[in-house]
Structure 1
């Protein structure tokens, strides 16, 4: 069964990877042939110059990103004829900034600043009491400027001098213009079309990653026979990685569907917090030492406490999530570094921990490059996502390899079970002792001339008895007591042929409404016959009885044979303790039953099997 399911796992992997490849290829082709004819996304919509924080004026280069860090950046120049007249419409997507577009004489064309937000906020208190937009939080905003409004209503032409002012209101200015403002020029529904052609392929890709992480690794772990915390943790990490990357691609579009800029901001930031928390828990799942795991729990708890605290401060209008970004970035960096140190402690003698640490090197390198880029302005590109993708792919390959190893171990375990089964066959065959078979066959042979009909009946009974022993090899679940009783009757019928009048059998069956392991009573009855009445000169009686109590069912095997001393050394009392111990273990493991044996020398032996009612079929459970 596991082999079939394991094969299906790899089939699912191949199907998912194929879907990812097809999706990417199709959308790359669509973009190549269609997208550039519908919209453009220039670095800046003005042709002219710009100044950062009151510094010198620099020329605007349309083919080069603007990577300067700023608190206030001012652009002045003319809108190109192509953007103004050919495309017609212009959309500005902004993150965490206020901005104003005006003419050279001060006429405001479009404004999004603190005063405007404050008026909107005060209006929302009466009109939308549950709104989350805050007066001092720019959030994420999308605003469209239509050509008819610019050219006809305001009289803007390609010769008009325009000024575009952008202000980053937070204390630490480690952001660039390209990180905060994005422009799209288009004919009609430009931002929706840009989302469809630019963002949607990646979104679909990472939606598959989310499902892949959420279902594949936990399900694969379950199929292999256990729920492994490491696979669960990585499944959630993959899910939140996909969610985080989806948000990276759609954050600039959120205000198209969510009217509150603050909610757009919160969705983006909270997704990042969840991803970091998933990384921390995944690190912890790869730790084996009790002290390191306890420390990892504390570190994860502290980070989550910080995340909850800054979220509450946002809701209470005390401090927004962007203003808390530095605190959370430091908390995330410190937490991950502590996790790395904890894993470093486990590296000694733990090759898995070493490989795990090495698999995160690509991400650490790209983070270092991005941090360096903040100070020397290499390209303005963000390499973090590339390093994260490489690291996650390495993790997926590593865990799939681990699953493959466990799958092979499961197959090996099945082989061992098969070998164990074959060993059980040998044990079972050995339990049908040769002298018992010889005696039974001898008795049947003697009857063939004396009483052929009885001999025929005895032969059929003996065959049924042997078949019952063989069938028990394939029977792992308990059976009704009636089945076990029929087998006992066949066994005792054959034994009575041997002992004749020296063996008497009596039955006192008061209840049969219970189950027990197949052939679990025969060893007790065999002991009563062979070591009880069989050792007594004038024979005796074996009684098989059942009864029901308030909490259990009882099977009682009693003989009036020679008895024995329970306190005597086991090796000297002449009884088969190996078979008895096996019987006790089977009864306990399958039904929670126990066996009580009492004996008095010269009076006989009583063996009592007590099966709790809890777990019996009539108690709505499976024994």
Structure 2
């Protein structure tokens, strides 16, 4: 059954991976074969120069994104002839900035700026204290300028000198211009065409990632027969990673469908907060000690509280989410750093823990590069997203490998249960084989004439003994030693009837608070009776004792019978399968072992050693 379920799991993984590869292939094909003349994405729609924060003027390169960090950046020059004459429309997608397009004489063509007087008036009319559209928040906006308007009403010609001013209104940090303004020139429905060719394929890719995280890891955990918090939190992490990457792809298009620019910005920020929270919960799933787990809970709670606080500040018009971005980034960085320290404290010296931390190295490296990019402009951008993608792919591969290992362990456990069942059948049948039943019934029959009362008690004991053997077939977990001892006493009571004064039973039970496989001591006692004391002409004593050491519990079976040479390979015609099964069950279920010591003519001692670490199985008692 487990093999069938496991096969379905890996089939599902294969299907998901095939869908991911197919989506990527379609995306590459569209990008390669479809003509991009239907739209253009220049870095700037003006041909001229620009100045950052009042600095020197630099030439505009239409083929190279403007990556300068700024508070206010000014472009001046002529409208690109290709954009003005060849395409019919121009869309400007802006994030968290105000901007104005005007002529060199000061005539405003298009303006998106904050007007305090107008905002106060409109706010007074609406009277919405919890409105999402804060009057001083730019948000995410898409504005389309049509060529007919530019060349008609606005009077823009090939020789018109235009000025494009962009202002980042927040004082907490500088941003890159290419992250704030995106330009698309096209014919009809160009923004939707650009979304279809540029954004939709990766969006579909990450939608699959979301479903992969939301269903595969939790379902795989359930199918394997346990609810593993680690897999559940990683499924959540994969889901929010996919959601975060989807938002990175579509954030510049949100205003096409959501009219309020502030809501568009809030959606982008909230997905980022959810992703960081998922990272913290994922790290917390590796905490086992009470102290580190409590510290991890506090760290996660602090971050969630901060996220809720900045969200409430947004709703109450105190401070918008973008103004709180730097603070939240610092809180997130500190939270993740604390989680890493806690992880190292709990898993110091663990080689697997080191590999786990190394798997996060790409993300940490790209974060460091982005911080460096803030001070020194580096070629390229969005290093964080690349590092995040590499890290998440490594995590997914690592977790799938871990699931595969768990699956193999489940198969091995099933095999062990099968062998356990067979061992129990072997032990049971060895105890109720015909000559044993014959001897027991004969002894009882003799007692019926000599001592009917004792015969009655012997019959009841023998029936309980047989029932105990049959019940053992249903028992899959270790049992308390007291239960095993009661069954042993029934067996020895029956043997005592047969051997009478030739068999003496002694007990020295000093420890009982431990577990062991059912019917694991009985084969040792049986050997002591039948092949030790039973082979001695004048009989002897079988002594059963237990004791506790610092590291283990011990069950000792001693007899003063004939003994044997443990180094001699003797073919005595008897099957030793029962003893081998007993040793294997003790090893697999409790980590125990059997030590045999014997001296010819003096007797045998069998010691069952049960390490205290193996006593965790006591929790599985049914």
TM, length-normalised to structure 2 = 0.72
Deviation string, structure 1 residues 189-217 (Cα, Å, up to 9, x no partner): 11111111000010000000000011111
**Alignment partner of 2:236: what SS?**
helix
Distance 2:174 2:264 in 1: 21
Please name the residue that 2:317 is paired with: 317
Distance 1:56 1:336 in 2: 40
Contact 1:50 1:76 in 2 (8 A): yes
Shift of residue 107, structure 1, vs aligned partner: 1.4
Stretches of structure 2 that go unaligned for 5 or more consecutive residues are 478-482, 487-621
Residue 163 in structure 1 maps to residue 163 in structure 2: yes
Please name the residue that 1:359 is paired with: 359
Please name the residue that 2:594 is paired with: none
Please name the residue that 2:10 is paired with: 10
Please name the residue that 2:91 is paired with: 91
Shift of residue 33, structure 1, vs aligned partner: 2.1
Please name the residue that 1:491 is paired with: none
Please name the residue that 1:473 is paired with: none
Deviation string, structure 1 residues 498-540 (Cα, Å, up to 9, x no partner): 99xxxxxxxxxxxxxxxxxxxxxxxxxxxxxx96x98443998
Distance change in 2, residues 1:45/1:576 (3 Å): same
Distance 1:168 1:144 in 2: 21
Contact 1:121 1:133 in 2 (8 A): no
Please name the residue that 2:233 is paired with: 233
Shift of residue 378, structure 1, vs aligned partner: 1.1
Distance change in 2, residues 1:213/1:120 (3 Å): farther
Contact 2:89 2:185 in 1 (8 A): yes
Shift of residue 257, structure 1, vs aligned partner: 0.4
Contact 1:103 1:163 in 2 (8 A): yes
Which residues in structure 2 correspond to 1:456-475 (within 5 Å)? none
Distance 1:173 1:280 in 2: 25
Distance 1:81 1:229 in 2: 59
Distance change in 2, residues 1:578/1:560 (3 Å): closer
Distance 2:269 2:430 in 1: 70
Shift of residue 382, structure 1, vs aligned partner: 1.4
**Alignment partner of 1:537: what SS?**
helix
Residue 196 in structure 1 maps to residue 108 in structure 2: no
Please name the residue that 2:43 is paired with: 43
Please name the residue that 1:106 is paired with: 106
Contact 2:131 2:315 in 1 (8 A): no
Distance 2:125 2:434 in 1: 94
Contact 1:39 1:186 in 2 (8 A): yes
Deviation string, structure 1 residues 274-300 (Cα, Å, up to 9, x no partner): 000000111111223221111111101
Please name the residue that 1:553 is paired with: none
Contact 1:314 1:320 in 2 (8 A): yes
Distance 2:118 2:352 in 1: 55
**Alignment partner of 1:153: what SS?**
coil
Contact 1:65 1:178 in 2 (8 A): yes
Please name the residue that 2:126 is paired with: 126
Contact 2:233 2:282 in 1 (8 A): yes
**Alignment partner of 2:175: what SS?**
coil
Stretches of structure 1 that go unaligned for 5 or more consecutive residues are 440-494, 500-529, 541-558, 565-572, 597-622
Deviation string, structure 1 residues 200-256 (Cα, Å, up to 9, x no partner): 010000000000011111111111111111111100000000000000000000000
Contact 2:203 2:249 in 1 (8 A): yes
**Alignment partner of 2:70: what SS?**
coil
Please name the residue that 2:261 is paired with: 261
**Pairwise CA RMSD:** 3.2
Distance 1:272 1:345 in 2: 28
**Alignment partner of 2:449: what SS?**
coil
Contact 2:421 2:473 in 1 (8 A): no
Contact 2:428 2:469 in 1 (8 A): no
**Alignment partner of 2:409: what SS?**
helix
Residue 22 in structure 1 maps to residue 49 in structure 2: no
Distance 2:120 2:249 in 1: 28
Distance change in 2, residues 1:151/1:11 (3 Å): same
**Alignment partner of 2:69: what SS?**
coil
Please name the residue that 2:76 is paired with: 76
Residue 537 in structure 1 maps to residue 449 in structure 2: yes
**Alignment partner of 2:63: what SS?**
coil
Contact 1:244 1:275 in 2 (8 A): yes
Shift of residue 35, structure 1, vs aligned partner: 4.9
Report which stretch shifted further, 104-113 or 579-588: 579-588
Please name the residue that 1:570 is paired with: none
Please name the residue that 2:294 is paired with: 294
Please name the residue that 1:245 is paired with: 245
Distance 1:129 1:300 in 2: 30
Shift of residue 582, structure 1, vs aligned partner: 5.8
Distance 1:315 1:245 in 2: 25
**Alignment partner of 1:48: what SS?**
strand
